[in-house]
Chain A
Amino acid sequence: MKLKELESHLQQVDVFEEPKILLEQYPTSPHIAACMLYTIQSTFEDIEGKLVADLGCGCGVLSIGAAMLDAGFCVGFDVDNDALNTFRRNAEEFEITNVDLVQCDLCSLEVDAYAKKFDTVIMNPPFGTKHNQGMDMKFLRAALTMAKTSVYSLHKTSTRQHIQKKANDWGVKMEVLAELRYDLPASYKFHKKKSRTTDESPLLRHLQVLLKTSTSNLSVRPKADPRTEITT
C-alpha cells in the first residue's frame, strides 16, 4: 500500500466523540499516523507480520494503520472505555480482523508479565500536561519492557533531551526519526469544532518528535521526507 493510500484510509477513522481533557485525548492526525507507520515498515520492517502493541491506542488510528500495513496482529491498550468502543466500531467498519483491544491502566499494569511479548510497540502517549507529569516516561518505560525489538513513539520536542538521558540510564538506544510539525489549519479546524473545550488543543502548542528506542543494535538512517519536514 502506498503512503497516500494509507493516509486517505486513515482519514476515515472516527475520532473521539467527546475527548476527555484529563486523559489528554486527541486524535493522531491521519497524515502523521500514515507517515509514522509507513516509515516504521519501509525503513525498519517492524510492522508486516509482526505482533504489535499500541499503548494508549485511543480510537485506534495507529493500530488500524498497522493492520492495513499487514501487521500479523495488533493489540491496543487504553484506559478509556468510550475510546475503545470507538476503536472497536472503526475496526468493524474497516473490516479489520487482526486487532484486539484491552482496557487497562498502564500505570498500574505489571508490565513485567508482558516482557518482550510484542515484536514492536507503537504509540502516541499522553504527554503528562494534565496533572499527570511524567506520564510519557511511564508509557515509554512500559513500552520498552513489552517490546522485543523497538518502540516507536511520539513525544514533545521539548522533552527530547530528557528522554535521551533516560534512554542512556536505561541502557537503550534512542534515535530521532522525524521532527513533526502539525498541519495547523486542520488542527485549528478540530479545535474550532469542539468549542466546548476550553483547553487549547495540544497540537497548537507542541511540536513533536518521532522516536525509535530499541534494545537491539540495528540502526538504519531513514531518508528525509519533505512533506513532514523531517529533520534527521
Chain B
Amino acid sequence: MKLLTHNMLTSHVKGVTNGYPLLIKATEVKVNEVDFNPQFVSRMIPKLEWSTLVQASDSWCELIPDYDKNEEFLKKVHRVLLEVEVIEGCLKCPESGREFPISRGIPNMLLNEDEV
C-alpha cells in the first residue's frame, strides 16, 4: 500500500462517522524506485489531505507555495507518495479502533457482516 492510496482510504464500519485518516501500524515497509513524473506529482498535491500525508510518512514537511516549480520538493513528495510501500501491518480506524490488515502490500478493507 502506497501513501497516495492511504491518503484516500477511510473506514466505513457501521456507526462510524469519522473513519479518516486511518492510522498506519507497519511491521514491514519497502522503498521502491518508481519513475518520477513531476507533472503528475504536482497535480496530485492539491488533491491530497496534506496533514494525513505528513502524519503517515512520519516526516517533515511543510507544503511550500510554488511547489510546482520546485523539482527538489516534488521529488521528495514523489518518494513519499509513490516509493514508500507498506507491505505488512494494519490500518486502524481512528474512531472504532477496528484494524484492517495489510498483507503483501494489499490492505483488506472488507467488513464483517455485523459491521456493514
Residues of A at the B interface (CB closer than 8 Å) are 49, 51, 72-73, 75, 79, 81, 84-85, 88, 97-98, 100-105, 108-110, 113-114, 117
Contact = CB atoms under 8 A, between A and B. Distances in A.
B4 A100 contact: yes
A8 to B, nearest CB: 22
B44 A110 contact: no
A117 B47 contact: yes
Contacts of B24: none
B108 A51 contact: no
Contact of B34 (A84, A98, A104): A98
B20 interface: yes
The size class of the interface chain B forms with chain A is 20 to 34
Interface in B6-50: 8-10, 12, 20, 32-35, 37, 39-40, 43-44, 47
B1 interface: yes
Contacts of A75: 5
A51 B108 CA distance: 21
B2 A88 contact: no
25 contacts: A49-B40, A51-B40, A51-B47, A72-B43, A73-B82, A79-B110, A84-B106, A85-B104, A88-B106, A97-B33, A97-B35, A98-B82, A100-B2, A100-B5, A101-B105, A102-B9, A103-B106, A103-B107, A103-B108, A108-B12, A108-B116, A109-B109, A110-B12, A113-B20, A114-B8
A49 B39 contact: yes
The secondary structure that dominates the A interface is mixed
A54 B46 CA distance: 22
B111 interface: yes
A77 to B, nearest CB: 9
A104 B110 contact: yes
Contacts of A105: 110-111
A181 to B, nearest CB: 35
A75 to B, nearest CB: 6
Contacts of B47: 51, 117
A113 B34 CA distance: 27
Contacts of B35: 97-98
A102 B10 contact: no
A73 B110 contact: no
